[in-house]
Amino acid sequence: MPKDNELTLLSDDEIVNFITKGYHIIEPFLPKKFHTEIYKKLESLPTNPGDRIYKVVPDLQKIYSNNAVIRVLTSLLGNKYSEASHKHCHKNHPGTRSQMWHQDSLNIPALLDGNNRFPDHIKSVLVMYYPQDVESNMGPTALIPGSHLFKSAPDRNASHGNFRDQVIATLKAGSLLVLHFDIWHAGTANTSNKIRYMIKYLFERKHESKKPSWNHNSSENQRILERLEKDEAAAIQRSLIPKRNYLRMKMWNNIAGDAALKYEYHDKWAGAWPKPNNILL
Ligand SMILES: O=C(O)CCC(=O)C(=O)O
């Protein structure tokens, strides 16, 4: 558990994890009793307060303004970021069915010019807070790792069921899930007998970074480049790998300012022939 007064920024490897997968989990950093009290408060609300959730559950401030969250948001969004006024409390009763896969970044009416997706940058992140344990039958949030990088994912994704390599985020009470705004995700069915709450906030970058806003060590650059090229998040067609790597590299460079990496295209197809045991007969 990080101490409350520590602002340890993310490491290069944690930034690469976020770029490649599109999400980061913050483990609980406040006592379980605190989250139980928030759960009770939510249960007592007669209606959904919508954007006013903050006002009616002021203790949420103790979560979102905690250093454990600030260190992650600063690392991903730079030293200046803002909290969007829109917030949402999801109350999933027993029997709630799965949502369709979707990307929240497409929901914004003011941005219908099509420029609301940033597959090569980190401009906004969703932060989802769960005041109770979320077990696999309680409607955990599902994610498709790496799906924030592809603009061309078909709208038909919405009608699909399970994806290979999807992540079902079962979490301990008090955990937060930080998501790239463009990631495909969905709430799943609650087949338990417990209500699952989740509170969603959106944070936005205010400035382009002139240097890394995380704990960067340039002596690791070669290893970081290799990870950005080789790490797998979820299965994709092989012909998309150069585009995926280009977007990963651009995302790093867009948030790293003067610590940009030099990316050179390699023809990955040249070299040794496939070994006989990789050939389907
Ligand atoms: O309920 C969930 O786990 C996910 C909700 C969601 O997808 C959303 O708020 O956009």
Contact (CB, 8 A) for 228 and 23 = no
- Over residues 185-207, the pLDDT tens digits come to 999 999 999 999 999 999 999 99
Ligand 1: residue whose CA is nearest its atom 5? 187
Confidence of residue 23 (pLDDT cuts 50, 70, 90): very high
- The whole-angstrom separation of Cα 155 and Cα 134 is 28
**Ligand 1 atom closest to Cα of residue 107:** 10
Cβ–ligand 1 contact at 141 (below 6 Å): yes
Q: Is the pLDDT of residue 16 over 90?
A: yes
Under 8 Å between Cβ of 20 and 146 = yes
Task: Measure the CA–CA gap between 215 and 213, rounded to whole angstroms.
Answer: 7
E strand map for 99-166: 124-129, 141-143
Tell me the mean pLDDT in the region 39-60: 95
Q: Using the predicted structure, report yes or no on whether residue 4 has a pLDDT greater than 60.
A: no
198 close to ligand 1 (CB < 6 Angstrom): yes
- pTM of the full structure: 0.91
200 C-beta closer than 6 A to ligand 1: yes
pLDDT digits (tens, 9 = 90+) for 143-181: 999 999 987 666 667 778 888 899 999 999 999 999 999
Q: Is 187 in the pocket of ligand 1 (CB under 6 A)?
A: yes
Q: Is the pLDDT of residue 111 over 70?
A: no
What domains can be seen in the chain, in order of their start residue?
12-205 (2.60.120.620)
How far is residue 43's CA from residue 246's CA, in Å, rounded to a whole number?
Answer: 46
Best mutation site among 200, 201, 202 for ligand 1 pocket (most ligand atoms within 8 Å of CB)? 200
- pLDDT tier, 107 (very low <50, low <70, confident <90, very high otherwise): low
